[in-house]
Structure 1
Amino acid sequence: MAKQNKPAIRFKGFTDAWEQRKFSDITFPAGEKNKENLPLESYSITNESGFVPQDEKFENGGTMREADKRMYYIVSPNSFAYNPARINVGSIGYQDTGKSVIVSSLYEVFKTSDDVDDRLLWHWFKSPDFQKLIMQLQEGGVRLYFYYDKLCMGQVFLPSLEEQRKIGKLFDTLDHLITLHQRKYDKLQVLKKAMLEKMFPKNGSSVPEIRFKGFTDAWEQRKLGEILQERNTRTSDFESNPLYSLTIESGVTPKTDRYERSSLVTKTEDLFKTVKPNEFVTNPMNLRFGALGYNKNAFTVSVSGYYDVFSIDDDKCSGFWNAYFKTPTAMNIFDNAATGSLIEKRRVKYSTLQQLAFYMPNDLSEKAEIGKYMDTFDHLITLHQRELEKLQNIKKSMLEKMFV
């Protein structure tokens, strides 16, 4: 359909070919010098968020706080502005604050004609097609620039104004949903971090700051060797179990598509280790950074032979230990216990792990409650992360298929 100047995906009822339009015909310069030095709020443009108040971006309000503002541009609502030296990494914004603001005179500022929907154009500026246009027309030596006159040399395919508005609204809805899930994800991460600090003892204390109702006894300090059981079972039969990896962010997770099983097989025997349900895996090299997790699946998996695998006597409380080992207190213990001459080679081996002392409740039910609570956090975080990735992939696909 591209040869017919029609996108691969369209709203029902629209069949006409899109028209090729020159930016010189559908945009016009809109930057107006602040000659009267009006006390307007100073804004910058970021890759992630577009227009951002300088008071938010910089602790001291930025260089524009005390500067003579007569040379800066006034940007009225419904204007586009971008940094010509950073437009290739997405430094463009749409001014929809409802008031006039000022930006650096280094920015390019423009508006569109009445037959163009700004929201559709805004999303097109985030598409691969706009990146191609920038690559074709930018100029410079060490640093490349894409000034407004270069934009005017470019072209874009546009449908009727009605179809433009529908497309713009669709992408606005996707952005809204992405923002909602991102906020929920961020809030859960912050809350989890707070709970990790408050639900486990710290600074030598034998009791945590926050506890579930009904638990009052002090926690007992014991060496991990008293409850850990080494499970470093090696195998060269990597086909029997799914191949998993260990990440600081997500713990024990399936190998991604970028890993090909055949590329991981060498002539070395016993390359892998097996991990049964509820058993733990650590990366000795990165344990002090949080490279630890447990197998939450109901089946056995295989992991790298370089990892350490162990179980804990009270394996029904794996969620408790998984969370505990991610606390700042545990990270500090692991860091102090790491051995090796170079920073890059400092590691916490299983033999070292056994000697470390942790405060732990005697009551198994308290461990279970904490573990269940922290696992719920991980579950919710994973759900929002997956939904966020799903929406971002949908948006990426739509940007490729809903434009000509």
Structure 2
Amino acid sequence: MADSNVPSIRFKGFTDPWEQRKLSEYLTLSRIIGHTGVDANKLTVKLWGKGVVAKTDSYGGSRNTQYYVRHAGQFMYGKLDFLHAAFGIVPEELDGYESTLDSPAFDMSGVDGVFLLNRVTQEDFYLGNGLIANGSRKAKRIHEDTFLDMSLTMPSLAEQQVIGRFFSRLDSLITLHQRKYDKLVVLKKSMLEQMFPQEGESVPRIRFSGFTDPWEQRKLGELEKKSVLRMGRGNVISAKDMTAAPGSFPVYSSSALDNGQMGSYGKYMFDQELVTWSIDGGGAVFYRKKHKFSVTNVSGYIATDPDKMSCAFLAQSMSLAHSCINFDYTVKAHPSVIRSLYTLGIPSLAEQQIIGRFFSRLDSLITLHQRKLELLQNIKKSLLEQMFV
């Protein structure tokens, strides 16, 4: 039987079992009195172990609220957001910033900060210990003495440091891919705004060479009447249906996650290019390349005549229009609504095709970095489960 005090994966040279320790053995509460809420440089602890960041206080602060000085390297948590893993370590650039007693800080001794942060942000710690929080459902607090009395199974400091360095490097790699992904998303947003005409304009600000004609303004309903496109809504496909007829054909629904895929099915509705989107207006507009798939009843779809309109271009044009409208319980993105709601700029078919290919390649690059990022995040999650006790 495996030793419950030894992790499944371990660095070479470490064999001693991990031991139960209270946090009070490593952490000492710091309460250096600082400024009031009026003139303190404030910091806050982000949720889900995302760290300590400067706080923008657009409403100012109160002279009656006392703040306390925090120093680089101190461990912090949010009393009110313990159940949401509000843990972090004060970075160098925020040395001397301040917080109230609702975000206490601790000096660390005999413990590796990165190791500790990665351990306390695991669900078994913050959810398990968070159940003892005091207060109402909306204002539960974990006080300092309660926090310091919590226990963790800990290795030697040397092993903590090795594990901490490993996860620091992994986090840096994840951050690198996150930044690449974020930059590409921002680039796409910018290019959509520049490569499609602004409101009241008939030509885009950035254009491929060889195209000079003004774009025509058309509503989706007009294009449908001219048989340029055909609009519809998907079918009811339940989890029970997919279980009864299992298969590998994707079923796309209203979710913005996982490329809108709800599951897989043994049947399919389409084997062609389509544009799909959520009927409630949430999420994204998706360009579906030609493959076998189905669309549920909470999604709309558009098929285009390829001799009259590029489906890939239409998806990007609709995405831009979609982002400019606030959908809510009164305004839904039903085909019957957006037929007259969306006015799109339409260039020649040749220009549509070039724009469509450009954004398809950009979307593929974004998806590639997103998958790399998700893979690294999943690897980290798995290693956290296997390298800690």
Band of TM-score, shorter chain: 0.7 to 0.9
Given the alignment, which residue of 172, 181, 184 partners 1:185? 181
2:216 maps to 1:220: yes
TM-aligned CA deviation for residue 246 of structure 1? 4.0
The 1:252/1:135 distance shift into structure 2, 3 A limit, reads: closer
2:127 maps to 1:120: no
The 1:162/1:249 distance shift into structure 2, 3 A limit, reads: same
Fraction of identical pairs, as percent = 32
TM-aligned CA deviation for residue 166 of structure 1? 1.3
> What stretches of structure 2 of length at least 5 have no aligned partner?
none
Structure 2: how far apart are the matches of 1:9 and 1:365?
A: 57
2:388 maps to 1:396: no
The 1:367/1:402 distance shift into structure 2, 3 A limit, reads: same
Q: Residue 61 of structure 2: SS of its match in structure 1?
A: coil
Q: Which amino acid aligns with 2:336?
A: K
> What stretches of structure 1 of length at least 5 have no aligned partner?
263-271, 336-341
Q: Which residue of 2 aligns with 1:361?
A: 347
Given the alignment, which residue of 90, 95, 99 partners 2:90? 95
The 1:24/1:273 distance shift into structure 2, 3 A limit, reads: closer
Q: Which amino acid aligns with 1:111?
A: D
Larger of the two Rg values belongs to structure: 1
Q: Which amino acid aligns with 2:372?
A: E
Q: Which residue of 2 aligns with 1:385?
A: 370
Given the alignment, which residue of 68, 72, 78 partners 2:67? 72
The 1:201/1:218 distance shift into structure 2, 3 A limit, reads: same
Give CA-to-partner distance per residue, 1:223-261, whole Å, 9 cap, x none.
4133524486999998587132144747974334xx8x5
Give CA-to-partner distance per residue, 1:330-359, whole Å, 9 cap, x none.
966x98xxxxxx826673339x73997643
Q: Which amino acid aligns with 2:330?
A: I
Structure 1: how far apart are the matches of 2:369 and 2:9?
A: 27
- Superposed, 1:345-360 pairs within 5 Å as 347-349=334-336, 353=339, 358-360=344-346
Q: Which amino acid aligns with 1:52?
A: V
Given the alignment, which residue of 184, 187, 191 partners 1:195? 191
- Superposed, 1:251-400 pairs within 5 Å as 253-256=260-263, 274-281=269-276, 285-286=279-280, 292-297=285-290, 299-304=291-296, 307-314=300-307, 317-328=310-321, 343=330, 347-349=334-336, 353=339, 358-362=344-348, 364-400=349-385
The 1:147/1:158 distance shift into structure 2, 3 A limit, reads: same
Q: Residue 277 of structure 1: SS of its match in structure 2?
A: strand
Contact 2:34 2:40 in 1 (8 A): no
State the Cα RMSD in Å.
3.8
Contact 2:44 2:103 in 1 (8 A): no
In the alignment of these two chains, the number of paired residues is: 373
Q: Which amino acid aligns with 2:163?
A: I
Q: Which residue of 2 aligns with 1:339?
A: none
Structure 1: how far apart are the matches of 2:283 and 2:128?
A: 43
Contact 1:242 1:254 in 2 (8 A): no
TM-aligned CA deviation for residue 397 of structure 1? 2.0
TM-aligned CA deviation for residue 165 of structure 1? 0.9
Contact 1:81 1:92 in 2 (8 A): yes
Q: Quick one: higher RCO (CA 8 Å, sep 6+), 1 or 2? A: 1
Q: Which residue of 2 aligns with 1:265?
A: none
Contact 1:80 1:110 in 2 (8 A): yes
Q: Which amino acid aligns with 1:121?
A: L
TM-aligned CA deviation for residue 119 of structure 1? 1.5
Q: Which residue of 2 aligns with 1:51?
A: 52
The 1:290/1:315 distance shift into structure 2, 3 A limit, reads: farther
Contact 2:202 2:345 in 1 (8 A): yes
Q: Which amino acid aligns with 2:365?
A: L
Contact 1:241 1:300 in 2 (8 A): no
Give CA-to-partner distance per residue, 1:75-129, whole Å, 9 cap, x none.
222211222222221222211216332221333221222x311111121121123
The 1:293/1:251 distance shift into structure 2, 3 A limit, reads: farther
The 1:289/1:204 distance shift into structure 2, 3 A limit, reads: farther
Give CA-to-partner distance per residue, 1:240-292, whole Å, 9 cap, x none.
87132144747974334xx8x59xxxxxxxxx872222233455x34x66764
Q: Which residue of 2 aligns with 1:267?
A: none
Q: Residue 363 of structure 2: SS of its match in structure 1?
A: helix
Structure 2: how far apart are the matches of 1:234 and 1:84?
A: 46
- Superposed, 1:82-161 pairs within 5 Å as 82-97=77-92, 99-113=95-109, 115-135=110-130, 137-142=132-137, 143-161=139-157
Structure 2: how far apart are the matches of 1:345 and 1:186?
A: 29
TM-aligned CA deviation for residue 201 of structure 1? 2.0
Structure 2: how far apart are the matches of 1:355 and 1:110?
A: 55
Structure 1: how far apart are the matches of 2:373 and 2:285?
A: 24
TM-aligned CA deviation for residue 159 of structure 1? 1.4
Q: Which amino acid aligns with 2:346?
A: M
TM-aligned CA deviation for residue 189 of structure 1? 1.9
Contact 1:74 1:103 in 2 (8 A): yes
The 1:14/1:252 distance shift into structure 2, 3 A limit, reads: closer
Q: Which amino acid aligns with 2:47?
A: N
Contact 1:275 1:295 in 2 (8 A): no
The 1:383/1:27 distance shift into structure 2, 3 A limit, reads: same
Q: Residue 327 of structure 1: SS of its match in structure 2?
A: helix
Structure 2: how far apart are the matches of 1:141 and 1:122?
A: 27
So what's the TM-score if we normalise by structure 1?
Answer: 0.78
Q: Which residue of 1 aligns with 2:5?
A: 5
